[in-house]
A and B are shown apart, each in its own frame.
Chain A
Amino acid sequence: MEHRIVMAGLFAALIAALGLVPSFQLISGVPISAQSLGVMLCGTVLGARRGALAVIIVVVLVTLGLPLLAGGRGGPAVLAGPTVGFFLGWIPAAYVTGLVMERWRPSSVALPAAIASLLGGVVVLYACGIVGMAAVLDRSLPEAAMLSLPFIPGDLVKCVLAGLITRGIATARPQSLLSRA
């Protein structure tokens, strides 16, 4: 029991630490933060429930005022901003990623982890994010979607990374891969 809670804490810290990684730019000056990679890993490594718990820890700490988001942002201001859907969407994103990872168990690890990250960390996350942005900016859903599209290529790269890192963990520390325990 302690181990699972500590692991959730560790991955919450991983999401926070990834926010300190300077954002890289894939194409045309769209900044890409590494934090959603951490959210994907929460799902693929910890599974649905623990993964969501790790993300909830981050969401609570950030909302209460710790500057754990990329760029040192934090506090209830995040909930009032246009990216609120993406921020809260991290929770279902990690949950769905973990659920896919737990249910779909072919012999390889990298492929299901990457696909799980795509479904949870991109499809579910953008669905939440776009709804949030449309609500805050009072725009239609397609208009909000247009604002979010430039970030998709970077997130696809992160899906591949999540798949490879998860496979690495499955090889080196199989007992730590709680999603397949």
Chain B
Amino acid sequence: MLTLLYPSESWLHRVPAGPKLTALPLLSVALLAFDSVAVSAGAGLAVGVLALSCGRGFALRALASLKPVAIFVVLVLAWGWIDGTLENGLRIALRLLTLVGAALLVTMSTRFDAMMEAVARPLRRLKIVDAARLAFVAMLVLRFVPAMIARLGALQDSWRARSSRRAGWRLVMPFMIGALDDADHVTDAIRARGGMPTDRAREDDTQR
């Protein structure tokens, strides 16, 4: 469930993450620089054709994922219609749909680890970010989420076993305290295994 990747093998899936990620800001700048209905409509059409070239299911899923911005599109169009600047509204709506749509194509056709590697590699070279540690923390977060959901489920079960009333807010504090204790236990476990992985590990070893 924890992925937005569309499980198919289209040509877009085979394009490396780096170029796909680079294309997004370039598209944004281009659309802002040549801001007109015609340009945005053309770019939007191109994004639509790209989506369709990856298969019908892929395109339909991309369309469904546009739903959160649909309300803003309606809003901008209605606004433009009311104060007589419908063309302006159309321009903004098309730009919004095109940029969000293009970003969706990238997300749906790129594995998360490829995405992370594409971003971490240049950062690592610049020595801004400790990539090994970043990856470790990311995995930690991804493991905490289901653990938290399971904990809440267990608390709800034990409440239901003892009461016919709704638990409501009463489970909030036990949940939080349990989560904080989890953090303590995980910390102990990490320390027992010699600490978190880090890019600097090798340098430390040679110093020792």
- Seen from chain A, the residues whose Cβ lies within 8 Å of a Cβ on chain B are 2-3, 5-10, 12-14, 16-17, 20, 57-58, 60-61, 64-68, 71-82, 136-139, 147, 165, 168-169, 172-173, 176
User: In the bound complex, do residue A75 and residue B104 qualify as a contact, i.e. CB atoms below 8 Å apart?
Assistant: yes
The residues in B between 71 and 106 inclusive whose CB is less than 8 angstroms from any CB of A are 72, 75-76, 79, 88, 92, 96, 99-104, 106
28 pairs of residues in contact across A and B, judged by CB atoms under 8 Å: A3-B184, A6-B140, A9-B137, A9-B144, A10-B180, A10-B182, A13-B140, A13-B148, A14-B144, A17-B145, A20-B149, A61-B138, A64-B119, A65-B5, A74-B107, A75-B103, A77-B65, A77-B103, A79-B103, A80-B28, A80-B96, A80-B100, A147-B75, A168-B172, A168-B176, A169-B180, A176-B180, A176-B184
Q: Is chain B's binding surface mostly helix, strand, loop or mixed? A: helix
Q: Work out how many contacts link A and B, with CB atoms closer than 8 A.
A: 146
Which 3 A-B pairs give the minimum distances between C-beta atoms?
Answer: A75-B107, A13-B144, A77-B103
Q: How far is the CB of A180 from chain B (nearest CB, A)?
A: 14
Q: In the complex, what residues of A have CB within 8 A of residue B2's CB? A: 66-67
B103 touches which of A2, A3, A80, A147 (Cβ 8 Å): A80
Q: In the complex, what residues of A have CB within 8 A of residue B173's CB? A: 165, 168, 172
Whether A71 contacts B68 in the complex (CB less than 8 A), given A65-B4, A76-B106, A172-B177, comes out as: yes
User: In the bound complex, do residue B107 and residue A65 qualify as a contact, i.e. CB atoms below 8 Å apart?
Assistant: yes
User: What bracket does the count of chain B residues touching chain A fall in?
Assistant: 35 or more
User: In the bound complex, do residue A3 and residue B187 qualify as a contact, i.e. CB atoms below 8 Å apart?
Assistant: yes
- Seen from chain B, the residues whose Cβ lies within 8 Å of a Cβ on chain A are 2-5, 21, 24, 28, 65, 68-69, 72, 75-76, 79, 88, 92, 96, 99-104, 106-108, 110, 112, 115-116, 119, 133-134, 137-138, 140-142, 144-145, 147-149, 152, 172-173, 176-177, 179-184, 186-187, 190-191, 195-196
B137 touches which of A57, A68, A82 (Cβ 8 Å): A57
Q: In the complex, what residues of A have CB within 8 A of residue B147's CB? A: 13
Docked pose: A76 CA to B105 CA in angstroms: 10
User: In the bound complex, do residue A137 and residue B187 qualify as a contact, i.e. CB atoms below 8 Å apart?
Assistant: no
A5 touches which of B79, B96, B144, B196 (Cβ 8 Å): B196
Supplied contacts A68-B145, A77-B103, 17 more A-B pairs, CB within 8 Å: A6-B183, A6-B187, A9-B137, A17-B145, A60-B134, A65-B107, A66-B2, A66-B112, A77-B100, A80-B28, A80-B103, A81-B100, A138-B92, A168-B172, A168-B177, A169-B176, A176-B180
Q: How far is the CB of A138 from chain B (nearest CB, A)?
A: 5
User: In the bound complex, do residue A10 and residue B183 qualify as a contact, i.e. CB atoms below 8 Å apart?
Assistant: yes
Whether A64 contacts B116 in the complex (CB less than 8 A), given A2-B187, A3-B187, comes out as: yes
